[in-house]
Amino acid sequence: GEVLTHVSEAGLSEEAAEQIRGMAGDTHRMERIGDHIKRLMVAAARQHESEKRRMSVESLLFLTEVGNDLQETFDDLAIYLSPDGTHEQAEALMAHVDKGRKAMRKFSKRLLKSDERGTPALILTMDVVHVIEDIYDRLRSISHVDPLAD
C-alpha cells in the first residue's frame, strides 16, 4: 500500500505507475510464495512427528515430482522476469503452471476417494496439496502481469 501511495504522489506517467504497481503486486505474490514454502517445510516436519501422519509412498512420490516441476516453473519465472523476458515466455510459464494445477486437482480427487480418508496422514497430505495449489495460483497471477508490455 505504501509503495502505491508514493507512486500516486510521484507524478509519474500512467504507464510508469502501472508498471510499478505490477512490480509491487509481483513482489507481494513472491513473498506469499515464500510463506507457502515455509508452510511446506512445517508440514514436512510434522510428517515425521508420528507414524499416523506419514504420507503414503504414492503421495510422497507424486509430491516429489511436483517439487521438481515447481523448480522448473520457478526457473521459467526467472527467465520471464529477466530484462529480456518475452510474451512467449509468459505464455510458456502459464502453460507450465496450468499443467501443474491440473495435476494437483486430479491428485486431490484421487486422494478424496482413497481408503485413507479422514486419517491424519490424508489431512496432512491435503494441506500440502492446498499449499502447492496456492503457489501455482500465485505463479499464474505473476505470469498475467506483464511488466514488459508496450
pLDDT score at 1: 57
Sign of CA dihedral 69, 131, 103, 94: negative
Closest Cα partner for 144 from 80, 83, 101, 99?
Answer: 80
∠ CA 17-95-144, rounded to 5°: 10
pTM above 0.75, yes or no: no
Q: What is the pLDDT of residue 117?
A: 57
Interatomic CA distance for residues 60 and 137, integer angstroms: 22
Between 47 and 144, where is the model more confident? 47
Task: Take residue 65 and report the three cell numbers written for it.
Answer: 515430482
The counts of H helices and E strands in the chain are 5, 0
- Per DSSP, the residues of 5-47 read HHHHHTT--HHHHHHHHHHHHHHHHHHHHHHHHHHHHHHHHHH
pLDDT in tens, 70-125: 888 888 888 888 888 888 888 888 888 888 888 888 888 888 787 665 677 788 88
| pLDDT tens digit sequence for 13-31 | 888 777 777 778 888 888 8
